[in-house]
Copies of this chain bind each other. A is one copy, B any other.
């Protein structure tokens, strides 16, 4: 129940989306992941929880978030798994043979060429796009870089209530972001 321990910072990817990234990317204990931007560290610590003895390298440029991420890594007991890097993923990724690159940042499209270099053959990149403009920029760059099996999805969790009567909640979360999965082949 590690999520209860997390400090809140910038808006984070929700558990429903983090879970889909885990399930669709097929990463497992031992996998190597690069994540950017760290934000509050939610996605990095969520994935890190399940990947030991794997590694998660999480990039963040915004100094305001660094301490929150560090605190959350410690709170989750993931110092041996999650490494915070104060670096700009759009400038380059130093890690090699990476199984998964997750990009939740405004300039995701600028990081895709570095993601491709860092990934193993068959490795995956996942981008999180709150808007269509962001999504279209990512899709264009993924195609230009010859990524395979490019697949955007929306993940909608519809909550029901069941106190006196049973029915879907009247209001709910209609949209968080578009998740786009793509595979590096060759």
Contacts and interface: CB of A to CB of B under 8 A. Distances in A.
Interface stretch (A21-29, A33-41, A58-66, A111-119): A21-29
A9 interface: no
A152 interface: yes
A22 B3 CA distance: 12
A141 to B, nearest CB: 12
A167 to B, nearest CB: 5
Q: DSSP class of A's interface residues: helix, strand, loop or mixed?
A: mixed
A157 B20 contact: yes
Interface string A1-31: 1111000000000011011101110101100
Interface in A145-185: 150-162, 165-176, 178
A167 B175 contact: yes
**Interface residue tally of chain A, by bracket?**
35 or more
B50 A132 contact: no
Contact of A174 (B4, B28, B174): B174
Most buried by B among A29, A139, A167: A167
Contact of A136 (B18, B132, B161): B132
